[in-house]
Amino acid sequence: MPRPSEPILSPDKIAQAALELIDSIGEFTIGAVARRLSVRPSSLYNHVGGREEIISLVRDSLIPETIPPFRELPWEQGLSDGIRLYRAILSDHPAVVPLLATVPLASAASARMYEEFAATMHNAGFPDEQILDAITAIDNFALGSALDMAAPPTLWTSPHWQARMRAVTEAAPRGRERADQSFEFGLRVLIDGLRARLPQQ
Amino acid sequence: MPRPSEPILSPDKIAQAALELIDSIGEFTIGAVARRLSVRPSSLYNHVGGREEIISLVRDSLIPETIPPFRELPWEQGLSDGIRLYRAILSDHPAVVPLLATVPLASAASARMYEEFAATMHNAGFPDEQILDAITAIDNFALGSALDMAAPPTLWTSPHWQARMRAVTEAAPRGRERADQSFEFGLRVLIDGLRARLPQQ
């Protein structure tokens, strides 16, 4: 391969190659990213510190440059908008989800998004000591919901269902409609539950 | 290698080998499972139908033979016990979590566990049309929480925190204590939110 006339490596290109690997095979290694970019693994280390940094760059590449200022909305609405946005960001890349949970939330883009969540909850009246717990609940729910969107239409199908699961799976929609309906139900549950824990004003 | 005197292959052994691969490298392939068991890939197909069935067998291997009959408890207590059990099952094997979301819940052991959840919610007064949504919310929360237990102690560390996230991360415990506290907070939020959606008796 001739030497390219412009540098083919940058943190962005490395993140993009890693994301393509994660989307197609569920994982990435430094070696596979290097092969995909036709460079030696050692060349990557001129641009990134290692695997953790690549995962952070992948996360950054998914988060929009501008986070809507949802702290300015009534808190239930702001939180709902934020959680829907977060799920939408993850939903096209469900295989990224488990990786995100394994590295520090060090990236600038993540920090902007979490600041918006934290400010929304602060404005609602939650004390600082509860806000990380609440954000974690939101995070866990959003991550789980993003995984659920990638589930097969037959997720809740089993020859082993007993009476009650047979009744409830027959009463439910299928596929993406099910995932969306369940997400919206869960979102209302989460908001109602958070409201119940809000200190009396 | 001499031919072993007893058959080395069984669905259980295949699931165990797959689980060890998932725990150590986050994924498994039919080829890698075969190499680990020192057999040809084609031999595996005498015992399992393929990748999806192996994931179901892995799930089955994690769920205890006997699920406590938590439907017999007051529903908030029963649901809390069930969710804690589910998280504990997953917490030693966080890398399994994303795989579980991708295959039908076909296994007998899963069906027993979900029947217990569904019966608990039915006894609480939830209509059949809401129960799968509620179970999905529980599922997403439990899966997300299990991923969170595997997070590094530095998960919520970032040089990019702005004012509010700096305050809330400083007010929170670290590591496993943080994950446990956040899980218990989220569990109360979930139960409160479900109670708010219960039809008036």
Summarised one tens digit per residue, pLDDT across range B60-86 is 899 888 889 999 999 999 999 999 999
Residue of A nearest to B25 (CA): A27
Phi-psi region of A26 (alpha: psi -120 to 50; beta: other; left: phi over 0): left
| Closest partner CB to B160 (pick from A108, A171, A194) | A108
Is the pLDDT at B2 greater than 70? The verdict is no
Contacts of A181 in chain B (CB under 8 A): 133
Summarised one tens digit per residue, pLDDT across range A25-48 is 888 999 999 999 999 999 999 999
Summarised one tens digit per residue, pLDDT across range A165-186 is 999 999 998 888 998 999 999 9
Contacts of A115 in chain B (CB under 8 A): 161-165
| pLDDT average, residue stretch B24-30 | 87
| pLDDT average, residue stretch B167-192 | 92
Is the pLDDT at B88 greater than 80? The verdict is yes
Please report which confidence band the pLDDT of residue B1 belongs to, taking 50, 70 and 90 as the band edges.
Answer: low
pLDDT at residue B150, rounded to an integer = 78
Number of CB atoms found within 10 A of residue B134's CB: 26
**Considering the domain A11-61, what is its CATH architecture?**
Orthogonal Bundle (1.10)
Share of chain B above pLDDT 90, in %: 56
Is the pLDDT at B4 greater than 70? The verdict is no
Q: What is the mean pLDDT of chain A?
A: 89
Q: Count residue pairs from A and B with Cβ separation < 8 A.
A: 262
Number of CB atoms found within 10 A of residue A86's CB: 23
Question: HSE of B32 in the Cβ direction (CA atoms, 13 Å)?
Answer: 16
CB A200 within 8 A of CB B200: no
Return phi, psi of residue B35, to 5°: -60, -40
Contacts of A97 in chain B (CB under 8 A): 98, 147
CA of B43 vs chain A CAs: smallest distance (Å): 24
Q: How far apart are alpha carbons B178 and B161 in whole angstroms?
A: 18
Number of CB atoms found within 10 A of residue A39's CB: 18
CB contact under 8 A, B162 and A192: no
CB B140 within 8 A of CB A91: no
Is the pLDDT at A201 greater than 70? The verdict is no
Contacts of B80 in chain A (CB under 8 A): none
Residue of A nearest to B178 (CA): A133
What residue spans in chain A does CATH classification 1.10.10.60 cover? 11-61
What residue spans in chain B does CATH classification 1.10.357.10 cover? 64-197
Share of chain A above pLDDT 70, in %: 96
Contacts of A103 in chain B (CB under 8 A): 152, 155
ipTM of the complex in this document: 0.84
| Closest partner CB to B186 (pick from A136, A159, A161) | A136
Contacts of B130 in chain A (CB under 8 A): 185
Name the one residue in this structure whose structure tokens are 């496993």: B176
CB contact under 8 A, B185 and A147: no
Please report which confidence band the pLDDT of residue B189 belongs to, taking 50, 70 and 90 as the band edges.
Answer: very high
Share of chain A above pLDDT 90, in %: 56
pLDDT at residue B199, rounded to an integer = 82
CA of A17 vs chain B CAs: smallest distance (Å): 19
Summarised one tens digit per residue, pLDDT across range B110-154 is 899 999 999 999 999 999 999 999 999 998 888 888 888 878 888
CB contact under 8 A, A168 and B131: yes
Superfamily of the domain at B64-197: Tetracycline Repressor, domain 2 (1.10.357.10)
Single-letter code of the amino acid located at A26 = G
Which of B28, B55, B123, B136 is the mutation pick for testing A, counting most A CBs within 10 A? B136
Q: How far apart are alpha carbons B124 and A64 in whole angstroms?
A: 42
Please report which confidence band the pLDDT of residue B54 belongs to, taking 50, 70 and 90 as the band edges.
Answer: very high
Element (H, E) at B18: helix B11-25
CA of B97 vs chain A CAs: smallest distance (Å): 8
CA dihedral in degrees (B96, B101, B106, B111; nearest 10)? 80
CA of B39 vs chain A CAs: smallest distance (Å): 24
Contacts of B182 in chain A (CB under 8 A): 132-133, 136-137
CA A84 to chain centre: 11
